[in-house]
């Protein structure tokens, strides 16, 4: 009995030692702290939670691989509630109290913009996260954005090309009253001016707008041939519904452009058939071929189910996972976690990610924009799985990923299968 | 600016419908804050809870309006319990009840918001019904059915509450407690029980208002924040405690917002609500329809 107990203890100790060994090897070298705030509640909360899951996937996987420079990655995240007033305080805490080594920006333009001066002043590297033009004025030289757009026109370019190809000569511009939408609107105005397109309606709406019937009626009265909208998720749904109820007029060739939210699965499935015909921006849609993306999406889908977040995860998760991949390549490539060294590496290297190769320009945005403009077609109500099919969102732009031509006018596109 | 009388007519028409929606979401507050003087800043949060429960019932095949009506008695009971807790913890203790009560209801609003996030996540929720997403075509005009539903519900709620408050014994007691609580006590009535009942009605009405909100558009847990300003504006503009006044104030707000949205630019719309409020308070501090 004594003998067997001793043997059992020995075996237990050996097992404990063997399972603890890899962790011990990492823990011996300390940790690399990566910190960020993420909108987990508020208007960007749904997207933020899906993005966060992808980042957590990378953290888990990199730790299994032995961490960064042999150190375990510790991931510190706070909820900024999609409130830009919260982010400067959170990032100050991350730097001064949590003493993080590396920073990732929160998802979205509005929460990111207020932290740019702080990050520049502290000379910290910041991995951008689907924000738009936040570095245009600050000019921080250690900023690297994961989003597939660069200047203000890159987002609307594909939309205006499709409209003008259909013969449109006038446009309406409707934009939310915030930094992100206003930057986009400026890009659309620039493109309209350059292309000789007359802007017949140009309005901003406040974030607390509850019903868009009057605005859609006013747009209809202006008789535009293109309707370019830049809106946040709640507004996008209300606008799509109001367009379905009030109508835009038979002269409208293309409608959509920069509506945030139409990339999120819960919103796509709740709008169902109302999405048909809408030509809107996206980052990735099924059918686009990148090495590793399908495997990533499979692994993501398994974890998304348990985490109760966006089950498809096409829009933000792959690009957030790519942030981790880029940091990992930079740390391994420089054998350092010093901000300046990592920034120098990120500037000169083409990085391999699940969203394809990424090469940064001087301003820290992508050297070549890759914003997709895709048209919804043949969408049925209450069917999430349909969105995995490549023919439900037909890529109109960019040409390298094109899977079809835009159907115009908008009324015809709504009925197309 | 594009102007035509057709557009102006449509702006007024949409304004009437929007105004009725504002009245429908404010009428519960008109009872709790207007009549009972309870600083119920949690009213919009309770309403959004009503939206989520409507969503749950709709997933079992209920129509959203029917779901709202079914939820009213449940919310009535919750309102009674909530007021009792507020009374025992704050109102009974006297002088600083107002300020501390405000903090209490802010706390309730935050707790409800977090509870919704934990229970349902942060994704938007919406419901389906025949009258959502389609419109009534009258020649050139198209009127969204969902706004007509809000219009109808606001009229029914206003008429029912007005009749209840003026024709029934309890209703008149509620009005009396708002005017002179000590006098009501001298008459042998228990003002606390009357206020408890009235707060229950206000909360019950919020359930139906919540159903209206999810009919008008999708909801998410933090959505109560966009209604706090507008609902208080409607109640104060109306004159505290006036039910028909709440409908009138909602209409004024809705029509002016709609005209501004259509002709002058949407950015000015929030300024209209609070600009109107400031003007009215300057000229008639008791509100447009208050005594």
A334 phi and psi angles, rounded to 5 deg: -105, -10
d(CA A303, CA A319): 17
3-class SS shares of chain A: helix, strand, coil, % to 5: 45, 20, 35
Single pTM value for the model: 0.82
Assess whether A166 and A29 both reside in one domain: no
Contact A192, A164 (CB under 8 A): no
Same domain? A309 vs A236? no
**Which residue of chain B is at minimal alpha-carbon distance from A39?**
B122
A3 occurs within a structural domain: no
DSSP strand pairing (A102-104 vs A126-128): parallel
Q: Are residues A205 and A250 in the same domain?
A: yes
Give the pLDDT confidence of A11-35 residue by residue, as tens digits. 444 444 444 444 434 544 699 999 9
Task: Let me know whether A77 and A131 are in one domain.
Answer: yes
A364 is a domain residue: no
Q: A276 with A376, same domain?
A: yes
Q: Are A175 and A204 within 8 A, CB to CB? A: yes
Domain assignment present for residue A6? The answer is no
Q: How far is A220 from chain B (nearest CA, A)?
A: 10
Q: Kindly state whether residues A173 and A275 are assigned to the same domain.
A: yes
For position A7, what pLDDT does the model report? 52
B271 token code pair:
């300024």
Strands A279-282, A254-259: pairing is parallel
Residues B93-148: pLDDT tens digits?
Answer: 775 666 778 889 999 999 999 999 888 877 788 898 989 888 998 887 889 999 99
Q: Is residue A339 domain-resident?
A: yes
Token pair recorded at residue A288: 């686009």
A363 part of a folded domain: no
Same domain, A299 and A272: no
Q: Which residue from A minimizes the CA distance to B113?
A: A41
Encoded tokens for A85: 């007033």
Q: Which of A325-329, A348-352, A362-366, B255-259 has the lowest mean pLDDT?
A: B255-259
- Tell me the residues of chain A between 181 and 210 that have a Cβ less than 8 Å away from chain B: 203-210
Do residue A262 and residue A382 come from a single domain? yes
**Of A318, A334, A358, which one is at a domain's C-terminal end?**
A358
Tell whether A82 and A218 lie within a shared domain.
Answer: no
Q: Are residues A348 and A406 in the same domain?
A: no
Within a domain: residue A2? no
Of A49, A210, A310, the CB nearest to B217: A210
Angle between helices B145-167 and B191-216 (to 10 degrees): 170
A309: helix, coil or strand? Answer: coil
User: What pLDDT sits at residue B96?
Assistant: 61
Structural domain span for residue A185: 157-287+372-415
Q: Domain for residue A199, yes or no?
A: yes
Q: Are residues A242 and A210 part of one domain?
A: yes
Contacts of A262 (CB under 8 A, 6+ apart): A236, A240, A256, A268, A271, A275, A278, A280, A376
Q: Do B267 and A205 touch (CB under 8 A)?
A: yes
Q: Is the pLDDT of residue A2 over 80?
A: no
Last residue of a domain, one of A310, A332, A358: A358
Q: Do A245 and B133 touch (CB under 8 A)?
A: yes
Q: pLDDT tens digits, residue range A239-280?
A: 999 999 999 999 999 999 999 889 988 889 889 999 999 999
Domain total for chain A? Answer: 2
Question: Is the ipTM value over 0.90, yes or no?
Answer: no
Q: Residue B265: is its pLDDT beyond 80?
A: no
User: In this structure, is residue A105 part of a structural domain?
Assistant: yes
pLDDT tens digit sequence for A67-91: 999 999 999 999 998 889 999 999 9
Pair (A33, A131) in one structural domain? yes
Per-residue model confidence as pLDDT tens digits over A103-122: 999 999 889 999 999 999 99
| Phi, psi at A251, each rounded to 5° | -75, -15
Q: What is the CATH number of the domain that holds A354?
A: 3.40.50.2300
């Amino acid at each position: 009995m004594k003998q067997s107990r001793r043997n059992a203890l020995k075996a237990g100790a050996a097992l404990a030692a063997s399972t603890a060994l890899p962790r011990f090897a990492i823990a011996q070298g300390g940790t690399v702290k990566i910190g960020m705030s993420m909108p987990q509640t508020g208007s960007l909360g749904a997207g933020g939670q899906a993005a966060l899951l992808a980042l957590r996937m990378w953290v888990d996987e990199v730790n299994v691989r032995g961490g960064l420079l042999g150190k375990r990655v510790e991931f510190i995240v706070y909820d900024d509630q999609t409130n830009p007033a919260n982010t400067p305080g959170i990032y100050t805490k991350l730097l001064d109290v949590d003493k993080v080594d590396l920073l990732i920006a929160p998802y979205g333009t509005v929460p990111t913009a207020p932290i740019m001066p702080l990050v520049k002043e502290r000379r910290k590297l910041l991995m951008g996260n689907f924000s738009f033009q936040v570095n245009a004025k600050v000019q921080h030289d250690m900023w690297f954005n994961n989003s597939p757009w660069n200047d203000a026109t890159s987002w609307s370019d594909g939309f205006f090309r499709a409209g003008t190809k259909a013969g449109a000569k006038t446009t309406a511009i409707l934009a939310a009253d915030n930094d992100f939408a206003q930057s986009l609107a400026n890009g659309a105005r620039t493109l309209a001016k350059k292309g000789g397109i007359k802007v017949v309606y140009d309005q901003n709406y406040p974030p607390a707008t509850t019903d868009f019937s009057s605005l859609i009626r006013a747009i209809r009265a202006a008789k535009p041939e293109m309707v370019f909208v830049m809106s946040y998720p709640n507004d996008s749904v209300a606008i799509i519904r109001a367009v379905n109820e009030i109508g835009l007029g038979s002269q409208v060739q293309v409608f959509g452009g920069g509506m945030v939210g139409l990339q999120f699965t819960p919103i796509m499935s709740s709008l169902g058939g109302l999405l048909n015909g809408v030509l809107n921006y996206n980052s990735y849609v099924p059918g686009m071929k990148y090495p590793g993306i399908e495997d990533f999406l499979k692994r993501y889908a398994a974890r998304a189910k348990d985490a109760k977040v966006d089950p498809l995860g096409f829009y933000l998760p792959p690009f957030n996972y790519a942030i981790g991949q880029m940091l990992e390549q930079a740390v391994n490539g420089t054998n350092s976690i010093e901000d300046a060294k990592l920034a120098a590496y990120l500037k000169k290297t083409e990085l391999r990610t699940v969203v394809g190769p990424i090469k940064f320009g001087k301003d820290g945005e992508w050297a070549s924009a890759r914003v997709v403009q895709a048209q919804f077609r043949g969408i049925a109500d209450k069917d999430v799985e349909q969105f995995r099919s490549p023919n439900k969102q037909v890529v109109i732009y960019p040409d390298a990923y094109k899977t079809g031509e835009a159907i115009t006018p908008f009324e015809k596109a709504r009925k197309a299968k | 600016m594009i102007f035509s009388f057709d557009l102006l007519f449509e702006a007024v028409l949409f304004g009437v419908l929007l105004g009725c929606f504002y009245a429908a979401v404010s009428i519960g507050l008109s009872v709790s804050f207007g009549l009972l003087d309870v600083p119920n800043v949690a009213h919009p949060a309770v309403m959004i809870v009503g939206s989520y429960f409507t969503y749950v019932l709709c997933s079992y095949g209920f129509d959203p309006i029917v779901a709202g009506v079914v939820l009213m008695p449940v919310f009535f009971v919750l309102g009674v319990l909530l007021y009792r807790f507020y009374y025992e913890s704050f109102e009974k203790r006297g002088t600083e009840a107002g300020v501390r009560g405000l903090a209490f209801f802010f706390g309730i609003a935050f707790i409800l918001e977090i509870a919704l996030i934990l229970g349902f996540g942060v994704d938007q929720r919406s419901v389906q019904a025949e009258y959502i997403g389609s419109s009534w075509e009258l020649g050139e005009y198209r009127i969204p059915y969902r706004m007509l539903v809000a219009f109808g519900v606001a009229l029914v709620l206003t008429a029912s509450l007005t009749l209840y408050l003026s024709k029934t014994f309890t209703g008149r007691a509620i009005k009396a407690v708002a005017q002179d609580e000590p006098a009501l006590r001298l008459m042998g009535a228990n003002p606390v029980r009357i206020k408890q009942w009235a707060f229950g009605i206000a909360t019950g009405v919020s359930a139906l208002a919540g159903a209206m909100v999810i009919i008008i558009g999708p909801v998410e847990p933090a959505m109560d924040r966009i209604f706090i300003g507008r609902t208080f504006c409607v109640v104060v503009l109306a004159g505290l405690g006036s039910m028909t006044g709440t409908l009138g104030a909602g209409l004024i707000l809705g029509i002016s917002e709609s005209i501004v949205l259509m002709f002058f630019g949407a950015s000015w719309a929030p300024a209209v609500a609070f600009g109107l409020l400031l003007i009215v308070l300057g000229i008639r501090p008791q509100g447009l329809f208050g005594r």
